[in-house]
Structure 1
């Protein structure tokens, strides 16, 4: 797998949720902070206003996507001066995979598609820390066609459930998260001097090395072999990798191996020896020592006590 695919597949825990809501003006809702989660809002019909955690209200139109990667509080309203009511629609609090709802009075209607992902902060990739509190992706003709298609498909599945809808919605929610991240990183690399993980993903040399690590985490990587993947000298590669990711190359390799191991402990009943080999450790003893240094708990106990369940 490549880096961004791995980030999406390992970060999320449990089932995501989604809802299609018809808001009839006047309306306004407060969405409280939800640590350990991420959420999105898409305007399918009409218009509204985003009331962000800080700063001025933001007008939203049809096709606009708003993503909240850190679970910060926000509000949505028909008018920026509208009072915000306590939550009446919160997909993260609903037990169902997807719901449809009607809120408000008899005024003009705004239809939103919202959703939420439960995240395991212990598996959070450092690239997510680079994301702002709110990501607004305005609808612009010709931009992010995959994202627009995923929104349309998800909206149709939620509003008109048919046989197989659960499978379709789960897949589309993961696709939507991936496309939102793609769109953001593409937008973030547009400036002349991108920084951080956006720059690392956009850098052909460092991106090649990162994807090599994620395709084959068990390989006995060295700084030189990673530099070969990047087609750079060892010194240049090490300097550039550390500058962009804030981690030395082999520090990142170790972190990713153990993050992958923690996910395998959570999701599978594979023996510790098999997990150790899959993430590049030649013995269960070496794996257990490395795991305990990072997680402060032995891998067997991590699994038995449910520490890895999300």
Structure 2
């Protein structure tokens, strides 16, 4: 495992809401589904993603947009086209006046072709899916992304998008599981392509993965977070002196090595506390602490609350900082 793999493992599509829409200009949809992440690709034509507090982004055929929620936004044929329908969680539809409508009624309202009709020549075809992202590990990814990730045509992304588009045209047994996995692959391929772009400003933990000294040590930490890591051992594994290794790690990742180890352990512990019924003692040993008391001391020092209060939900939203630095 590495830092990206661990983060993506905490952000999986499970019974994701998929949609394949055929839309003729003028059209615009107000997206208010509250999803933490949405992935949209244009199979034909083009579409604009219009955030409430940012610049519109044009998505052409073969391109991908990953939109970070849960704030509402609009997708349309032109930034100036007023929304005609609201899209809620589960692909439920509502008029702009707040009246729930069926898919057939919605198509009739906006004058679009139905599923059994031929696609009009000038129509835009959009395929999209959403993630409901929870936990501190998922939040780690969200904090690394801008409001809209726009990836132009990319040779590593295109094959996955082709499979996704083809599957959306079918209605075979097990389709939901196939779509979930394809959405996972599409997100992974898109984020890889995005982080490789110079304008992405990828987080330090991602950039450091390609470093010949720091990258392998990050993989060691993620492979075995419960190991009693020390600065001396990490430096030895990296083949560098402690001082040189610490400087290089801090420069690339943004925090000192042992601060990173602590941050990752507590991020894992935070999710285990909320998502499992394992005892604090069990979780402590799983993430690298000798006992529940040691985990509680670290948790309180870094996060300002106890594991018990975090599990009960009284510790506030998970935060990804250690000593004022991003984890």
Q: Normalising by the residue count of structure 1, what TM-score does the alignment of the two structures yield?
A: 0.80
Task: Provide Cα deviations, 1:40-84, integer angstroms capped at 9, x if missing partner.
Answer: 211012222333456654432221101123545433222343223
The aligned counterpart of 1:105 is 111
Partner SS state of residue 171, structure 1: helix
Query: Number of residue pairs matched?
Result: 298
RMSD: 3.5
Partner SS state of residue 204, structure 1: coil
Partner SS state of residue 160, structure 2: helix
| Structure number, greater radius of gyration | 2
Matched, 1:204 2:216: no
| Contact kept? 2:305, 2:315, Cα under 8 Å | no
| Contact kept? 2:194, 2:200, Cα under 8 Å | no
State the shift of 1:187 in Å: 2.0
Partner SS state of residue 235, structure 1: helix
Partner SS state of residue 289, structure 2: coil
Structure-2 change in CA distance of 1:50 and 1:127 (3 Å):
closer
Matched, 1:231 2:239: yes
Alignment of 1:239-250 (within 5 A): 239-250=247-258
Among residues 150, 167, 172, which one is paired with 1:157 in the alignment? Answer: 167
Q: Normalising by the residue count of structure 2, what TM-score does the alignment of the two structures yield?
A: 0.76
Alignment of 1:160-239 (within 5 A): 160-188=170-198, 196-239=204-247
State the shift of 1:239 in Å: 1.6
Structure-2 change in CA distance of 1:196 and 1:33 (3 Å):
farther
The aligned counterpart of 1:38 is 37
| Contact kept? 1:10, 1:263, Cα under 8 Å | no
Partner SS state of residue 213, structure 2: helix
User: In 2, distance between residues paired with 1:219 and 1:18?
Assistant: 41
Structure-2 change in CA distance of 1:243 and 1:65 (3 Å):
same
| Contact kept? 1:91, 1:114, Cα under 8 Å | no
Among residues 132, 149, 158, which one is paired with 1:148 in the alignment? Answer: 158
| Contact kept? 2:42, 2:127, Cα under 8 Å | yes
| Contact kept? 2:204, 2:253, Cα under 8 Å | yes
The aligned counterpart of 1:261 is 269
User: In 1, distance between residues paired with 2:51 and 2:237?
Assistant: 42
> Structure 2 regions of 5+ residues with no counterpart?
94-102, 113-119, 319-327
Structure-2 change in CA distance of 1:208 and 1:283 (3 Å):
same
State the shift of 1:19 in Å: 1.8
User: In 2, distance between residues paired with 1:69 and 1:180?
Assistant: 14
Structure-2 change in CA distance of 1:207 and 1:276 (3 Å):
same
The aligned counterpart of 2:48 is 49
> Structure 1 regions of 5+ residues with no counterpart?
none
The aligned counterpart of 1:25 is 25
| Contact kept? 1:27, 1:77, Cα under 8 Å | yes
User: In 2, distance between residues paired with 1:256 and 1:62?
Assistant: 38
Which range is displaced more, 177-186 or 221-230?
A: 221-230
User: In 2, distance between residues paired with 1:5 and 1:19?
Assistant: 27
| Contact kept? 1:266, 1:308, Cα under 8 Å | no
The aligned counterpart of 2:76 is 77
